């Protein structure tokens, strides 16, 4: 999955601090999670990432991102053993999108609350050879969100100029550092990121746990009818969006007919999607933020 190069004007503050903030000051909450004020300061006003994550089209890459995430064996084991795609296939999407939208658009207090919730949810997810709080695993999860998101955005809107692309990339670090990833672990530039990415794609192993997740995600016979109805399209887009080595390891077939159908679907979407009113293109963002705020009020 190579990164194109988009046309966006850079506005607002320098965002380098997001990937470089200090860790001198820290606050500890009642659950033992450490969230430093510097982290919350860095999360305060992420301007560039907002123009990417607000777009509903990114949801089309949800299954691709999940299969890339579980290509990392530690992630696969945790998801397979602690998630239930078969019976509740939308739960991971809801959790992931709530987290992403909150980090980009939430208030300081909302971000702190959601980060604490994520940390508490991750605490019991561990076993021989893996832990949901492992920074290396969380770095990979955040990396998949960036790679899939920026790829889909540029397919729809065209290349972003280098300065804007670098600013957007730096802000994507918030999806990693708020998940216990040390700031220095996020690759310092897009060039370094794609080197990290290529190495991971070349070396990750599709385990039985990953295959279980893929089966529950793409061939779910227990999902509600409205979800099963769109699974053929999800399988098509996911198969074609995955890097060839990962696709083949999952046993997903890319045929000439399927590639043609995918190109047609993407071409049609590229023509029509940018013409949609922004209120439609940003509906999922508003829906999940509203859902998040309701749940936070209910917990208060």
pLDDT at 29: 38
Determine the Cα–Cα distance for residues 223 and 200; give it in Å rounded to an integer.
31
217-252, pLDDT tens digit by residue?
999 888 888 888 999 999 999 999 999 999 999 999
Assess whether pLDDT exceeds 70 at residue 154: yes
Distances (CA, A) of 293 to 110, 114, 131, 284: 8, 10, 28, 14
Query: How many C-beta neighbours within 10 Å does residue 268 have?
Result: 10
Q: Are strands 126-127 and 27-28 parallel, antiparallel or unpaired?
A: unpaired
How large is the average pLDDT for residues 116-130? 83
pLDDT at 17: 44
Determine the Cα–Cα distance for residues 298 and 300; give it in Å rounded to an integer.
6
How large is the average pLDDT for residues 106-134? 86
Q: Torsions phi, psi of 131, nearest 5?
A: -155, 135
User: What is the residue-averaged pLDDT of the chain?
Assistant: 84
Q: pTM, whole model, 2 decimals?
A: 0.85
Written as six digits, the tokens of 90 are 């939308």
Query: How many C-beta neighbours within 10 Å does residue 115 have?
Result: 23
Residue pair 240/261 in contact by the 8 Å Cβ criterion = no
């Amino acid at each position: 999955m190579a990164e194109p190069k988009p046309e966006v004007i850079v506005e607002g503050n320098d965002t380098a601090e997001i990937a470089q903030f200090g860790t001198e000051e820290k606050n500890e909450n009642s659950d033992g999670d450490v969230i430093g004020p510097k982290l919350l300061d860095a999360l305060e006003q992420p301007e560039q990432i907002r123009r990417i994550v607000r777009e509903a089209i990114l949801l089309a890459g949800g299954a691709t991102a999940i299969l890339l995430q579980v290509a990392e064996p530690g992630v696969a084991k945790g998801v397979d053993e602690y998630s239930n795609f078969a019976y509740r296939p939308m739960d991971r999407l809801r959790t992931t999108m709530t987290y992403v939208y909150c980090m980009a658009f939430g208030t300081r207090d909302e971000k702190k609350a959601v980060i604490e919730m994520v940390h508490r949810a991750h605490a019991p997810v561990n076993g021989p050879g893996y832990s949901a709080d492992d920074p290396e695993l969380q770095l990979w999860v955040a990396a998949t969100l960036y790679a899939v998101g920026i790829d889909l955005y540029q397919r729809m809107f065209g290349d972003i100029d280098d300065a804007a692309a670098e600013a957007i990339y730096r802000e994507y670090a918030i999806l990693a550092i708020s998940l216990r990833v040390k700031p220095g672990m996020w690759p310092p530039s897009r060039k370094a990121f794609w080197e990290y990415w290529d190495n991971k794609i070349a070396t990750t192993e599709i385990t039985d746990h990953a295959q279980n997740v893929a089966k529950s995600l793409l061939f779910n016979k227990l999902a509600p009818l409205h979800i099963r109805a769109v699974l053929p399209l999800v399988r098509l887009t996911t198969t074609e969006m995955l890097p060839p080595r990962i696709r083949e390891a999952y046993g997903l077939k890319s045929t000439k007919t399927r590639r043609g159908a995918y190109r047609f679907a993407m071409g049609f979407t590229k023509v029509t999607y940018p013409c949609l009113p922004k209120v439609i293109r940003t509906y999922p963002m508003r829906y999940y933020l509203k859902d998040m705020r309701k749940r936070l009020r209910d917990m208060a």
